[in-house]
Amino acid sequence: MFRKVLLMALAMSLIAGAAFASGKKVIKIASDCTWPPMEFVNSDKQIVGFSVDLMKAAAKAGDYDVDISNTAWDGIFAGLKAGKYDAICSSVSINEKRKRVMDFTVPYFEVKQAVVTAKDSDAQDLSAFEGKSIGAQIGTTGYFAIKKAEGATAKSYDEIGLAMEDLYNGRLSAVICDDPIAANYALQNKEYAKKLKIAFIVKSDNPEYYGVAVNKGNEDVLNLLNKGLKAIKANGEYDRIKAKWFGK
C-alpha cells in the first residue's frame, strides 16, 4: 500500500514538474472564480473565463508561464501582500486607493457598474432605492456605489451569485456589480432572465478599468505581464478572446 501511494505521489510530482520544466518564469496568479463570464469554475471543475484565457494567451505571447488558483475575494489582497502569489487577476478595478498599496498592469477591460432589478421595477437611478436593500459583493466597486446611495441599505455578500439569488427570491430590491457579470446573470442565465433585468448603469465621470495587481515595486512580474498583454492586443488575440466570451 505504501509503495502504491509513493508511486502515485511520484507520478503527480512528475506531472507538475513537466508543466513547468520549460525553464520559463512562472507567475502565480490568484483569482476569485465566482464572476462569470470573467473568471469562474465550470461544470467540469475547471477555472475558465475571459480573464483566464487572457492570462494564458498573454503568458504564451510574453514567454512565461502562469499558474492560476481559485482564491476567495475575502483576503485576496492580504494574500498578495504576504507573498502567497505574484499577482491578482480577478476583475480588480484600478483606483487611486489601491494604487497606493499595489501596482497595476496596463488596463485590460473597461467596466461600468450595472444595477440589476426585478423586471417590474421602474428604477432609473439610485435615489429610487431609499429605504431599500441593495446587494453587492463585499469590497467591490459595486458595494462602494451602494454606500454612496443616500438612504439605501448596503448588504454585502462573499459571492455575487448569492446576492443575485436573494434578488431573484425577492429579498433585495437590486444588485450592483460590473456590467459583464450583470449581463451574465440577468440576461444569459435562463432562470434569472425570466424575472431580472439590467435597469440602468450607475453614472460616473471617471471611466473604470480592470488591471492585474502586483505588489508595489515588483517590476519583474509587472513587466512580464505588461509585455504579454501588449503583445496580444497588438496581434489580435485579445479581440478573438473578447469575441469568444462577449460576442462581436
40 and 98 in a single domain? The answer is yes
Q: Angle at Cα 40 formed by Cα 110 and Cα 198, nearest 5°?
A: 50
Q: Is the pLDDT of residue 3 over 60?
A: no
55: CATH: 3.40.190.10
105 and 213 in a single domain? The answer is yes
User: Does 5 fall in a domain?
Assistant: no
101 and 121 in a single domain? The answer is no
127 and 85 in a single domain? The answer is no
Mean pLDDT confidence for 182-199: 93
Alpha-carbon span 200 to 235, nearest angstrom: 34
Alpha-carbon span 98 to 85, nearest angstrom: 17
213 and 106 in a single domain? The answer is yes
The confidence score (pLDDT) of residue 21 equals: 52
User: Does 121 fall in a domain?
Assistant: yes
The mean pLDDT of the chain is: 91
The confidence score (pLDDT) of residue 188 equals: 86
73 and 102 in a single domain? The answer is yes
User: Does 14 fall in a domain?
Assistant: no
- φ, ψ of residue 22 to 5 degrees: the values are -70, -15
User: Does 96 fall in a domain?
Assistant: yes
pLDDT tens for 154-170 read 999 999 999 999 999 99
Tell me the residue range of the domain where 67 lies. 24-110+208-246
Q: Is the pLDDT of residue 208 over 60?
A: yes
77 and 188 in a single domain? The answer is no
Q: Is the pLDDT of residue 181 over 90?
A: yes
Q: Is the pLDDT of residue 9 over 90?
A: no
pLDDT tens for 87-141 read 999 999 999 999 999 999 999 999 999 999 999 999 999 999 999 999 999 999 9
Mean pLDDT confidence for 200-228: 96
User: Does 10 fall in a domain?
Assistant: no
118 and 197 in a single domain? The answer is yes
124 and 162 in a single domain? The answer is yes
The confidence score (pLDDT) of residue 7 equals: 44
184 and 71 in a single domain? The answer is no
Helix axes 219-235, 50-62, angle to 10 degrees: 100
- φ, ψ of residue 95 to 5 degrees: the values are -145, 170
The overall longest dimension of the chain from CA atoms, in Å, is 67
Helix axes 219-235, 237-246, angle to 10 degrees: 80
User: Does 4 fall in a domain?
Assistant: no
User: Does 3 fall in a domain?
Assistant: no
Q: How confident is the model at residue 6 (pLDDT cuts 50, 70, 90)?
A: very low
The confidence score (pLDDT) of residue 247 equals: 77
pLDDT tens for 48-102 read 999 999 999 999 999 999 999 999 999 999 999 999 999 999 999 999 999 999 9
98 and 118 in a single domain? The answer is no
Q: How confident is the model at residue 248 (pLDDT cuts 50, 70, 90)?
A: low
Q: How confident is the model at residue 23 (pLDDT cuts 50, 70, 90)?
A: confident
The confidence score (pLDDT) of residue 91 equals: 95
Q: How confident is the model at residue 10 (pLDDT cuts 50, 70, 90)?
A: very low
User: Does 16 fall in a domain?
Assistant: no
39 and 28 in a single domain? The answer is yes
How many structural domains does the chain have?
Answer: 2
